[in-house]
Structure 1
């Protein structure tokens, strides 16, 4: 098949190209800077000129793009979008119902919400991972001192000064207190996301006054969705990661790998950022324990970071996400914690039980390698798109 690939700066593009070309497909990259826009005559023209008279069996992208979907519909090209980000506001575009769409979602809870709403173009499937890359990387020279840890966390603390939540500067005292209360309640609960239900009309009105949010005419995203996922969930994640990592650092040597060189977790060492392909797998493979603290907008899905950890043969200690249980066995393939106290106890336990820790890491790696490779992933989605 000839496959058009939207070549934006995404993770795993190399894996996609390698997998498709190894399977005998023609991989054709296309890029235009307006891919993120909902409307762009420049993009439409560039897409049409690029397509020309050439036949494409499908177009593929990581994440879903409204303007790409509409152009694929125009030229009757099947559009395969694989979601790995959360939140993904473009999923609430009217274009999602385009008959040429095949949108694969890693979060079963959000998939179920859309499917039950009558959207027939969405599918649930966990994200793929290149589980063989670590074998190749281990034959190369690398900075083992920097890319090793007793306990590591790779990710953002979402504490940048420009966060959406920090723009809510003119809220009345009642709204401030209300938001603080529901956020503290949500932090105590895993497996159920109730913030949108608690954003009452009065609260939404005050939020709108402080930082107005208007839906795009091409979408159906609600103010509850936007304020919950883009404002509150990121703040929740920031609070949760700060608290949990601070607690862990009291019990062990913790290394933080993050884009923000000024980020501080008391007792932890900030090692700076790591490059996705050339460095991050080493961290996962060479950390005794890899922590995953999911972004709160991911309701039930297995984050890409968690799959990458297991794919690199690392021991994964994660918060509870329901979708893990569809494909992995707790305490056999990975371990999840239920509270701050539980997290600290499990860190101490698995640091002192090396054989058990290595057995679990091995099991998770083997299961990912067997069931969640890019090859298996494309076999699955092509069986749906080209039955």
Structure 2
């Protein structure tokens, strides 16, 4: 295999990817850059092109997909491989996805299949975790004060998904608002499926945009993707709020997030948690780690689930098809099916420490064996 150019930014999975490249003895160079805009950045294009043609690289590799990298690679006919941990993919324009240089791996099987049907070279690959990267962190001693903060019964690391939904409701009629509320209510009741795309009809979209055009003097329109994502985030935000509110009434509950909700008076708000410096301590020390998956993730195993297990933590997660396929519920992780089931399982496992620790150990062994970066890179670079 020839030399690979590995594009890096402040992404999750960076350390695991680079360690795997080294272990597999794959020749590579790195190119680090922080985008001002993932789709418009002339400085990046010039610098990256210069690097790309400075040596005859066989492939370019990145975590998440960059339209700008794809454009440069397409111009020079260099294969570009990306592995996406976002769902949906966070780009505005989709034209570059069709470039012939691309091979794009998605962790969510449904997302991969959707793009395949559109003629995009999309493939499915679950995400990975390097447990050793995290172990070196959580095994490092911390102060008594910090340790006290990490020792909690229930922890959630992540967004509250506070959206602009209420702002977008304002120009709408009572009927239109009721319709959107109905979509959210229906999605909240269903844990094993993603209803929002089916419920956002072309007729609804046209109707909403007539209201937005009238209120803004034809300046504001909403696309299907924007509306679906906003509804998915609003649904997830409401679910997280209800779960945190319920659990914190009964158990010591901590939230690590750059968002705060003053209504969650019984939740300990600890602020943002750094992925490499703090997150491993949280997952390793909390008795129960919550994964309340973004509703736009239809089937895939979120990175959060693998990271928790990779830190030897116990995970209580919402249902997703691929989680149930790859992990034994009640043996390697615990999956909840609705709000009542989530509360009952949280209570049970807080009261049964041996069971909880046994599951955490089994989950740790499973991801250390089956969800490694070594295995993943052999597949995508082979």
Cα offset, 1:92, TM superposition: 6.7
Cα distance in 1 for residues equivalent to 2:197 and 2:6:
35
- Residue 172 of structure 1 contacts residue 206 of structure 1 at CA under 8 Å; is this kept in 2? no
Superposed displacement of residue 177, structure 1? 0.6
CA offset at residue 262 of structure 1?
Answer: 5.5
Matched-pair contact (CA < 8 Å) for 1:292–1:316: yes
* 1:343 correspondence with 2:342: yes
The 1:260/1:41 distance shift into structure 2, 3 A limit, reads closer
Which stretch shifts more, 190-199 or 300-309? Answer: 190-199
Quote the offset at 1:134 in angstroms. Answer: 3.6
- Quote the residue 1:79 is aligned against: 80
| TM-score normalised per structure 2 | 0.90
Equivalent residue number for residue 220 of structure 1: none
1:207 aligns with 2:208: yes
Query: Following TM superposition, where does structure 1 have runs of at least 4 consecutive aligned residues deviating by more than 6 angstroms?
Result: none
Matches within 5 A, 1:297-336: 297-336=296-335
Task: Please state how far the C-alpha of 1:91 moved relative to its aligned partner.
Answer: 8.9
Deviation at 1:330, TM superposition (A): 1.0
8 A contact 2:20–2:374 mirrored in 1: yes
Matched residues in 2 for 1:6 and 1:164: separation?
35
RMSD of aligned residue pairs (Cα, Å)? 2.1
Partner of 1:227: 227
After superposition, the Cα gap between the structure-2 partners of 1:242 and 1:43, relative to the gap in structure 1 and judged at 3 Å, is same
Correspondence list, 1:1-387, <5 A: 1-24=2-25, 25-31=27-33, 33=35, 36-37=38-39, 39-90=40-91, 93-119=94-120, 121-142=121-142, 143-159=146-162, 163=164, 166-208=167-209, 209-210=211-212, 212-213=220-221, 223-229=223-229, 231-261=230-260, 264-383=263-382
User: Residues 164, 57 of structure 1: CA spacing in aligned structure 2 closer, same or farther, 3 A cutoff?
Assistant: farther
Structure 2 CA distance for aligned equivalents of residues 188 and 15 of structure 1: 37
Distance in 1 (alpha carbons) for counterparts of 2:190 and 2:35: 40
Query: CA separation in 2, counterparts of 1:165 and 1:141?
Result: 45
C-alpha distance in 2, partners of 1:146/1:125?
35
CA distance in 2, matches of 1:154, 1:34: 26
Unaligned runs of 5+ in 2: 214-219
CA contact (8 A) 2:301 2:323 kept: yes
CA apart distance, 1:63: 1.3
Q: Distance in 2 between matches of 1:40 and 1:28?
A: 19
Q: Is the 8 A contact 1:78 1:101 kept in 2?
A: yes
Structure 1 residue 258, shift from structure 2 partner = 1.0
SS in 1 for 2:281: helix
- 1:218 is matched with which residue? none
CA contact (8 A) 1:315 1:360 kept: yes
Query: What is the rounded CA distance, in whole Å, between the counterparts of 1:258 and 1:326 in structure 2?
Result: 30
Report Cα offsets for 1:184-221 as digits up to 9, x if no partner: 0110002221212222344212432428347xxxxxxx
Partner deviation per Cα, 1:43-84 (whole Å, 9 max, x = no partner): 433322222331112111111122211211111211111111
Assess, with a 3 A threshold, how the Cα gap between structure 1 residues 34 and 152 changes in structure 2: closer, same or farther: closer
- Mapped to 2, the partners of 1:159 and 1:324 lie a distance apart of 26
Residues 334 and 92 of structure 1, relative CA distance in 2, 3 Å threshold:
farther
Between the aligned partners of 2:263 and 2:99, the Cα distance in structure 1 is: 46
Alpha carbons of structure 1 residues 369 and 251: separation in structure 2 relative to 1, 3 Å: same
Evaluate the alpha carbon distance shift between residue 5 and residue 303 of structure 1 in structure 2; reply closer, same or farther with a 3 A threshold.
Answer: same
SS, match of residue 36 in structure 1: coil
Cα offsets for 1:27-49 (capped at 9, x unmatched): 32142635601x55444333222
